[in-house]
Amino acid sequence: MMAMADFKEKLADAVVLLNDEPMARHTTFRIGGPAELYTVARDAKELRIAVTLAQEWVVPYLVLGAGSNVLVGDEGIGGLVINNKGAGGRPLAIGVQGRDEELWVESGMSLARLARETAQAGWEGVEWAVGIPGTVGGGIVFNAGAHGCSVAQVLDRVRVLMPQGRVEEWRAEELGLAYRRSRLSKGDGVAGSAIILEASFRLRRASRESLHQRLEEYEAYRRRTQPHQASAGSVFKNPLGYAAGWLIQEVGLKGYRIGDAQFSPLHANFIVNLGQATAVQVKALMALAQERVLENFGVALEPEIRFLGRGEVGE
Ligand SMILES: Cc1cc2nc3c(=O)[nH]c(=O)nc-3n(C[C@H](O)[C@H](O)[C@H](O)COP(=O)(O)OP(=O)(O)OC[C@H]3O[C@@H](n4cnc5c(N)ncnc54)[C@H](O)[C@@H]3O)c2cc1C
């Protein structure tokens, strides 16, 4: 207990620290009980300070980006949640590698801002990310993708903070990026606790007009096809040969609700929060879909969202 009080004092000297902060305020699902301790890292420097202090004091910690791919339990999260969004991170440096341009950004930068600012500057490569409400760090962990492209195709290198406090530079190939996963997306020993501080992307020159047009098309497509209520995007990965949304619709669950959690009538692979949904309700819907799809199609639906709750931080 004494150590925790000392840790809080030390951390509060460096960053703004909140106790029992409701995570529903910091997830796109608008679901989640309180984090025992909560801080916002406004840039990569603050992120490094908070993580390093938690490591030194052996306090369980979790780095969260925009909270757009997680379901936080109703009981909340023990230990320290470090919210890496702040002002959205900064572009750091631009260089040239062969015929490609290389752009370094902080991991807390939003994917949408990355897409917009690079398109505005006449660089092609990440415009597909314009409608994804996550950060660069969270996008790398789950190899975010849309419109036939993903992080894996454009990421060059990352700087990661290791559990021992060392900063390492990894090439994208070392991250094991695959469909909505990487070596950081599941507890994977040492690598499981590595935190992405900065990332570099390989971009190409293109006309601003064509990039701008592509951004508009992608945004219009999302407005047409995705629900507007609070959600965490697709809840299940698409199993080989199937669209998860189609499977959920075929087993009669499109539009089905438990409490305020509902399989969206617009896109069945989205669970939306109609107001007061709980994590228990979302999990019950997911379990029901998994059961029915397995029974009817022999296909196991694998969650795309990550569950976070007591006992899961720091694993
Ligand atoms: C409306 C909507 C639409 C979406 N559309 C898409 C889509 O088209 N394609 C797609 O791929 N996804 C989509 N998503 C899901 C989500 O936005 C992406 O997966 C996004 O990349 C997650 O980023 P985040 O910053 O929100 O991560 P979080 O949800 O904050 O975190 C996800 C995981 O990454 C870890 N993490 C976060 N930052 C770091 C870091 N710096 N270092 C180490 N670990 C870290 C967290 O601990 C957590 O385990 C959508 C979500 C919503 C709500």
| 10-residue averages of pLDDT along the chain (315 residues) | 78 86 98 96 90 88 95 95 78 68 91 93 94 96 95 96 91 93 67 82 94 97 95 97 98 98 97 97 98 98 92 42
Residue 234 annotated among the catalytic residues of the structure: yes
Active site residue 180: yes
pLDDT at 89: 63
Residue 258 near residue 284 (C-beta atoms within 8 A): yes
Question: What CA–CA distance (Å, rounded) separates 55 from 61?
Answer: 8
Distance from the alpha carbon of residue 303 to the mean position of ligand 1, in angstroms: 13
Q: Report all structural domains of the chain as residue ranges with CATH numbers, in order of start.
A: 2-83 (3.30.43.10), 91-223 (3.30.465.10), 228-305 (3.90.78.10)
- The pLDDT of residue 102 is 87
Count of Cβ atoms closer than 10 Å to residue 103 Cβ: 24
What are the strands, taking DSSP E only, across 151-228?
A: 155-161, 167-171, 195-205
Q: Verify whether ligand 1 is closer than 6 Å to residue 105 (CB atom).
A: no
Q: Please give the helix or strand (H or E) that residue 261 lies within, else none.
A: strand 261-263
- Tell me, what's the pLDDT at 4? 83
Q: Whole-angstrom distance between the N-terminal and C-terminal Cα of the chain?
A: 21
The residue annotated as part of the active site, out of 180, 183, 202, 214, is 180
Cβ 91 under 6 angstroms from ligand 1: no
Q: Is the distance from the beta carbon of residue 68 to the nearest atom of ligand 1 less than 6 Å?
A: yes
CA of 154 to the centre of ligand 1 (A): 17
The pLDDT, as a whole number, for residue 8 is: 86
Q: Which residues contact 19 (CB under 8 A, 6 or more apart)?
A: 36, 37, 38
> Mutate which of 69, 106, 235, 264 to test ligand 1's pocket (most atoms within 8 Å of Cβ)?
69
